């Protein structure tokens, strides 16, 4: 399932599903696949379609997919904005959990798949499975051996907002809805531009994203992008990805603000009373904020909500307009 910060509460669930884990970002470096490698090929949608997924495997779709299985919370959230419910055969079990999902209402009634039982996926006779390349190899192997068209995203596909945009376009082309995918990405860009404009010229507080597993979000994480676009400076940007840090490092960085996902909010209370951190500005001035976990962990178009959520706590007087994600 891939969601926000693999090492956070939300992120941990994400690492199991495809939506969550990779929540940080930094320098956009979206990987290229045969659907995104050149614009002319990407714009031509016809079936049969043969492409290579992000794991290097060849995927052939004989016709426009009408029975799609989603193996990650990220693709759950993307699919519901691109195709009607009737075309989604299975979503992940995470999709109905409001701690991690932004589409609980939209997926109500769609059968759920835990992701570890390939027989359950095969039973619905899918004509496209969207998977995460890091799931159990035996699951991937069994789906491949059954001849099911399966597109797998690699772990490196979720390191930035640019990656998320690329993934939306990829799914849009696979399911034959490129115009909807383009509109979804355009709407994301517009929302982020509006937030950046609202906080432009304001002081940029230093921010640390830190959770109970002891990991901080560095560069090449979606969180790094979220903090930057929300008008902050990520104090952990010099770290590569998610790295475990010490109290001494937090004291040295002395962030103005510390954020964590809402499903891990109890950890912020522990930080507030930690004797070793009382000199840290964020602790001393009570700038410890729980950000909605479904937003902060999102690796879909809903990541714009996380940018808005973080911008609100960093710049409470800014004239921020809440994003409206396209349904």
Task: Average the pLDDT over 242-257 and give the result.
Answer: 97
Rounded to the nearest 5°, which phi and psi values hold at 278? -70, -20
The answer on pLDDT for 319 being more than 60 is: yes
Q: Is the pLDDT of residue 44 over 80?
A: no
Non-local CB neighbours of 123 within 8 Å, separated by 6+ positions: none
Q: In this predicted model, what pLDDT tens digit does every residue of 187-205 receive, in sequence order? A: 999 999 999 999 999 999 9
**Mean pLDDT, rounded, for 233-253:** 97
Residue that the structure tokens 């410890």 belong to: 288
Decide the pairing of beta strands 24-25 and 215-217. Answer: unpaired
pLDDT at 250 over 50: yes
H or E element: which one contains 132?
strand 128-132
For position 158, what pLDDT does the model report?
A: 82
Burial of 273 (0-12, 13-18, 19+ CB in 10 A): exposed
> Residue 326: its pLDDT value, please?
83
User: What is the percentage of the chain residues whose pLDDT exceeds 70?
Assistant: 87
How far is 242 from 15, CA to CA, in rounded Å?
A: 13
Residue 287 DSSP symbol? -
25 has a pLDDT exceeding 60: no
Which distant-in-sequence residues (6+ apart) come within 8 Å of 269 by Cβ?
A: none
Longest dimension (CA), the chain: 63
Beta-carbon contacts of residue 32 (< 8 Å; ≥ 6 apart): none
- Looking at the predicted structure, is the pLDDT value of residue 286 above 90? yes
Chain center to CA of 254: 28
Q: By the 8 A CB rule, do 150 and 143 touch?
A: yes
pLDDT at 24: 34
**Mean pLDDT (whole number) for 66-75:** 95
Tell me the C-alpha distance between 296 and 10, whole Å: 8
How many whole angstroms separate alpha carbon 88 and alpha carbon 73? 13
The answer to whether the bond into 30 is cis (omega within 30° of 0) is no
- Written as one string, the DSSP assignment of 11-35 is HHHHHHSSBBSB-EE-S--PPP-TT
What pLDDT was estimated at residue 43?
A: 55
What's the pLDDT score for residue 36?
A: 56
Asked whether the predicted pLDDT for residue 38 surpasses 70, the reply is no
- Residue 112 pairs with which residues in a beta bridge? 91
Q: How confident is the model at residue 5 (pLDDT cuts 50, 70, 90)?
A: very low
pLDDT range class, residue 11, cuts 50, 70, 90 = very low
Rounded to two decimals, the pTM is: 0.88
- Higher per-residue confidence, 133 vs 262: 262
Return the higher-pLDDT residue of 55 and 197.
197
**pLDDT tens-digit readout, 92-143:** 999 999 999 999 999 999 999 988 889 999 999 999 999 987 788 888 889 9
The average confidence (pLDDT) of the chain is 87
- At 232 the three-state DSSP class reads coil
* pLDDT class of 156 with cuts at 50, 70, 90: confident
Summarize the confidence of residues 8-24 as an average pLDDT: 35
Going by pLDDT thresholds of 50, 70 and 90, the confidence category of residue 307 is: very high
Percentage, residues of the chain above pLDDT 90? 77
**Mean pLDDT over residues 218-242, rounded?**
97
Q: Which residues make Cβ contacts (< 8 Å) with residue 46, sequence separation at least 6? A: none
């Amino acid at each position: 399932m891939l969601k926000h910060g693999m090492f956070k509460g939300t992120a941990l669930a994400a690492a199991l599903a495809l939506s969550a884990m990779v929540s940080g970002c930094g320098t956009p470096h979206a990987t290229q696949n045969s659907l995104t490698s050149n614009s002319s090929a990407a714009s031509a949608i016809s079936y049969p379609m043969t492409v290579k997924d992000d794991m290097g495997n060849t995927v052939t779709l004989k016709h426009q997919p009408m029975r799609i299985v989603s193996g990650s919370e990220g693709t759950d959230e993307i699919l519901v904005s691109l195709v009607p419910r009737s075309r989604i055969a299975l979503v992940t079990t995470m999709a109905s959990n409001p701690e991690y999902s932004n589409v609980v209402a939209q997926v109500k009634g769609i059968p759920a798949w835990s992701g570890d039982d390939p027989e359950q996926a095969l039973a619905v006779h899918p004509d496209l499975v969207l998977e995460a390349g890091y799931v159990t190899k035996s699951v991937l192997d069994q789906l491949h051996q059954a001849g099911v068209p399966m597109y797998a995203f690699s772990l490196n596909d979720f390191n930035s907002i640019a990656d998320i945009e690329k993934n939306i376009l990829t799914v849009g082309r696979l399911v034959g809805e490129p115009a909807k995918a383009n509109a979804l990405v355009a709407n994301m860009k517009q929302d982020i531009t509006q937030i950046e404009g609202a906080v432009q010229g304001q002081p940029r507080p230093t921010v640390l994203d830190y959770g109970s597993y002891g990991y901080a979000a560095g560069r090449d994480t979606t969180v790094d992008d979220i903090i930057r676009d929300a008008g902050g400076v990520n104090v952990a940007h010099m770290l590569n990805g998610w790295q475990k840090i010490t109290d001494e490092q937090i004291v040295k960085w002395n962030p103005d603000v510390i954020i964590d996902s809402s499903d891990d909010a109890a950890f912020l209370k522990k930080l507030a009373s930690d004797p070793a951190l009382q000199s840290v500005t964020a602790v001393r001035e009570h700038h410890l904020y729980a950000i909605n976990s479904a937003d902060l962990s999102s690796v879909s178009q809903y990541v714009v909500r996380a940018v808005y959520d973080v911008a609100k706590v960093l710049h409470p007087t800014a004239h921020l307009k809440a994003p409206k994600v396209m349904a």
